[in-house]
Structure 1
């Protein structure tokens, strides 16, 4: 995130602004290994792919196999949407969690080495850090309300209850 860009935020800035929501989001992603990433194809149509994510050093990281179509999509157009695996059945304990933003490829050898030291991914790989533009959690409250929590950088958390 550049210092003059108020439309995106890294994970640590989001977590500082909304610690309870950030904890819930991390727990939802930690509940399962594989999640769904949406990227944009050359023609602008959406592509969904499976993906593992990591929260390390105040960042949300996306790692990908070399020259995978999702990595090539993000190199061409960095916009993405990420949805936590809802799990089996319809329970979705912790709610339905989604993150949107831009992915920035990281090639700095020291940063890549730190990531490799923590995650130990198969190499070679593409590494992207994320700049968040939106975090959304949808959950049920007392089986009476659908609760939508939506956060965007520079704005207050918006919570809507629907019956």
Structure 2
């Protein structure tokens, strides 16, 4: 597994694009696995800070329970238009580690945003990445850049 900083050092352009897509609308979708193995899609606000990818969520939410049981996730930026020609698309997959030492993160969050969850209460996950994908339109082609840990980057263009 790669930390976000490790991925970004290897693929700075793809990392910057991906962070930009997630920053364009803080709300994103995360896919987790239910106890029976079926997928669950939930809203989340991913946070890229201090070289890490973080996900905070309500205490003991269903998605949090899913991640504690099976840490695998996929994260998708909010796509707000039918056409990707303007902004593109970004996806991240990996594993999420339940983080109990929240004080430093919460202080940093407050310093950056002026916001703190009521009473500092949230379930916090630090995420390692195994796959990052961007989809953009270049001319008359859809361009898919996909990075997988240990394999590097692959570019596929489709008309």
Please confirm whether the aligned pair reaches a TM-score higher than 0.5, indicating the same fold: yes
How well do the aligned residues superpose, as a CA RMSD in angstroms? 1.5
Alignment-derived partner of residue 156 in structure 1: 152
| Deviation of 1:18 (Å) | 0.4
Distance 1:107 1:92, change over 3 A: farther
Distance 1:89 1:40, change over 3 A: same
Alpha-carbon distance in structure 2 between the residues aligned to 1:47 and 1:83: 13
List alignment gaps of at least 5 residues for structure 2.
none
Alignment-derived partner of residue 116 in structure 2: 121
- For the 8 Å contact 1:74–1:103, the answer to whether it is kept is yes
Distance 1:37 1:15, change over 3 A: same
Deviates more, 1:17-26 or 1:149-158: 149-158
Deviations 1:16-70 (A, max 9, x none): 0000111000110010021100000000000000111111000010000001100
2:41 aligned with 1:48: yes
Alignment-derived partner of residue 5 in structure 1: none
Alpha-carbon distance in structure 1 between the residues aligned to 2:131 and 2:116: 27
Q: Could you state the TM-score of these two structures normalised by the residue count of structure 2?
A: 0.91
Distance 1:39 1:109, change over 3 A: closer
2:132 aligned with 1:139: no
Aligned length: 155
Return the structure number with greater strand share: 2
List alignment gaps of at least 5 residues for structure 1.
1-7
| Deviation of 1:159 (Å) | 0.4
Q: Could you state the TM-score of these two structures normalised by the residue count of structure 1?
A: 0.88
